[in-house]
Amino acid sequence: MIQLTKAEEDIMKILWQLKKANVKAIIKEFPEPKPAYNTVSTIVRILESKGVVDYEKEGKGHVYFPLIQQQDYSNQSINKLVDNYFHGSFKSMVSFFVKKNDISLSELESVLKEINKKE
C-alpha cells in the first residue's frame, strides 16, 4: 500500500492531469505562492523512490510521469479510510457521512441510483 504525504499527493494530482511534465511545468500549475524549484524537485525524486513516478530524459532534464493511475490510488485511499476508521464497513462510513453532512434525500437517492447501476 502506497503512503503519500499531502505535498506528494498535490504533485501527483498535477502529474495525473498533465500526464507528463518537467519540474517547471509542475510548479506552473501550483497557485501562488508557488513552491520553490528545489522543493518540487526533491518531492518528485521521493515519488520516484516510492515507485509511483518515473522519468524520461529530455535534453539536459527529465520529464516525469505517473506509474500509478489516479483511480487506483483513490480506491486504495478510500479502502484505507474505511478499514482504519469504520472497521471495514462501507455502511458505517456512509451512515457517518449522511449524519455529519446533512445529506438531502435527493442526494441520497442519487447515490442509491449509482449503487444500483453497479448491481
Q: Which helix (H) or strand (E) holds 103?
A: none
pLDDT-derived band of residue 43, with 50, 70 and 90 as boundaries? very high
- To the nearest whole number, what is the mean pLDDT of the chain? 91
pLDDT, one tens digit per residue, over 96-114 is 888 887 778 888 888 788 8
* 44 φ, ψ (degrees, to nearest 5): -65, -40
Residue 119's pLDDT band, with cuts at 50, 70 and 90, is: low
Alpha helices in 1-119 (DSSP H): 6-18, 23-29, 37-49, 70-85, 90-101, 105-118
pLDDT band at residue 63 under the 50/70/90 scheme:
very high
**Residue ranges of the chain that CATH labels 1.10.10.10:** 6-66
Per-residue pLDDT at 24 exceeds 90: yes
Identify whether the C-beta of residue 76 lies closer than 8 Å to the C-beta of residue 1.
Answer: yes
Four-way CATH pick for 6-66: 3.20.20.370, 3.40.47.10, 1.10.10.10, 1.10.510.10: 1.10.10.10
